[in-house]
Each structure stands twice: as C-alpha cells, then as structure tokens.
Structure 1
Amino acid sequence: MPAVPLRHDDPGLQPERTLLAWRRTLLTLIGVCILFLRWIPPFGWMALLPVILSLMAGLLIQIGLNARYRKSARGMAQERIPPPLREVAVLGCTVMVLSLVGIVAVVSG
C-alpha cells in the first residue's frame, strides 16, 4: 500500500478540531481526578479507585489520539474517515463506572 501524506486540503482543519475536542475531554478527566482526590478525607482510600480509573482512561485515550490524527489525515486524502469506536467506548465505560462509584459513595456515606 503506498504511503499517504498526512497533509490534507480541508479548509476547516477537521482533524485538528477533532484532536482539540479529545484534548479538552482529557482535561475534563484530569479535573474529575482532582475532584475525586477531595473525596479521600471523608471516604478514605476507596476514593483513589476513580482517580486511577480516570488517569488510566486518559492515558489510553491519549495514546490513541496520535494514531487517530494520522487516520483522520489519511482519511481526508482517501475521503473515508473511520469512526473512533475504541476511544468512545473507553470514555463511555469510564463515565459509567465513575457515575456508579459516585452514586455508591453518596448513598453509603
């Protein structure tokens, strides 16, 4: 398969906008980590579970971002961009587990 250049002719810079949106999502996960760190005094070390989960999900998404940008740039040249199924699945599972941990912590506390 011939190498496809990472340049594209999109005047709206779609791959860059998508990359920035995912970066904002990662910043939100870091904010969630900070909020859960505040839960350590009342809930003990159990509050570290959502912190670790958020950091791991953020790391997985960050690793996928570089590959995602390359896929988007190639997809622009080939007029076909695959959906980010892995990243969306990781983020969705993370939000669901963080919500459950928050509900359990509030109800039991």
Structure 2
Amino acid sequence: MSTAHHTDPGLQPERTTLSWTRTVLSLVVCSLTMLRWGHAYPGAIYALAVVMVLVGAAVVASTRRRYAEQDEGLAAEKLPPAPGAVFLLAGSLALFAASELVLILVSS
C-alpha cells in the first residue's frame, strides 16, 4: 500500500480495507457453500458460484485504489462517499439470493 498521509495508522482507511476484505471472504464462502447444490443444478449453481467469485475478485482488485482515495481524502479532511462499490456488491448479493430462491422454488 502507499505511504499513509495521516498520522494514525489505525484510522478509517485501514478499517475500511479490512471490512471489505471480510466481506469478500464471506462472499467466497457463500459461493463455495452453494456448490453443495451442484448435483441438483449443475449449470446454474456453478455459474452463480463463478460470478460470485469474480465479483469478489473485482472488489479486491479495487481495494488498493479505494484505500489511496480514502487516505488522501482523510489527509485533506474531505472524504467523499463511494456508493458505487456498495451498490454493486449489495445488488450482486440480492441477485444471487433471488437466483438461489428461484432455484429452490422451481425444484419444489
């Protein structure tokens, strides 16, 4: 990571980065848990799991950029919100949950 512009190493950018990392870890665990339904829905479940892992990889790939933006924003005392990543991840999770619900209801 880049050299911090702020004086407190435990400040917001570090906590936010850790939070996003935990979120991605949860996403990967959920995608791996879905694989237990692979025998019932081989194509759909594998596709959903791969897409979930790709969304997680995209979040991890953007972490360095978001960390630098937060670090600079904190140093300038102007930290703008970044709703794009939050909406992308929340929308993806809602879509995955709806897809799984449809698969469950269709098989019943």
Partner of 1:87: 85
- What is the RMSD of the two structures over their aligned residues, measured on CA atoms? 1.5
Identity of aligned residues (%): 29
- Tell me the distance in 2 between the aligned counterparts of 1:14 and 1:67: 15
The match for 2:53 among 42, 52, 55 is 55
CA distance, structure 1, for counterparts of residue 29 and residue 47 of structure 2: 15
Distance in 1 (CA, whole Å) between partners of 2:10 and 2:46 is: 41
1:97 maps to 95
Deviation of 1:20 (Å)? 0.3
- Cα distance between partner residues in 2 of 1:63 and 1:19: 12
Instruction: State TM-score, norm by structure 2.
Output: 0.88
Task: Give the whole-Å Cα distance in 1 for the aligned partners of 2:6 and 2:106.
Answer: 53
Q: TM-score by structure 1 length?
A: 0.87
Shift of 1:45: 1.8
Q: Any stretches of 5+ residues in structure 2 without a counterpart?
A: none
Mapped partners of 1:11, 1:43: distance in 2: 47
Aligned length: 105
